Amino acid sequence: MDDLGVSGSESGGGSSSPNGNGNGVRAPGTESTVFTGGLPPGATPEMLGWFFAHYGTVLSVKLIYDKHTGAGKGYGFVVFADAAVAEMIKAQRQIPFMGKMIDVSEAMRAV
């Protein structure tokens, strides 16, 4: 799934927003980005990308990892080609993934 821009190398809590927007307001350019939270420990960027590709074209997937242990932090971001698909997914609030309900919502920072 490398052609989808799948990435699993991000560490830490993610970088700060390029526009310094840490106040919980959606950053410009995040309309087609979906925050995914409560991911199962075994989730990989490839699995998440494959799963969400059933809804629409996935441009990239980024899971967040602990910079010291390398363990997944249980959340990530999925960027869709079509903002309408992303909005439809966000409206669901939760989606079943790998036998677990995961949270889907607005991405508050540019990724």
pTM above 0.85, yes or no: no
The angle at the Cα of 24, spanning 39 to 32, to the nearest 5 degrees, equals 60
Predicted confidence at residue 10, as pLDDT, reads 42
Predicted confidence at residue 46, as pLDDT, reads 97
Predicted confidence at residue 86, as pLDDT, reads 96
Q: In 3D, which of 78, 97, 95 has the Cα closest to residue 31?
A: 78
pLDDT at residue 43 greater than cutoff 60: yes
User: Is residue 10 a contact partner of residue 63, using CB atoms and an 8 Å limit?
Assistant: yes
Greater model confidence, 23 or 87 = 87
pLDDT at residue 95 greater than cutoff 80: yes
pLDDT at residue 71 greater than cutoff 90: yes
- Kindly state the average pLDDT of the residues 25-46: 84
Strands 58-65 and 6-7, by their bridges, are: parallel
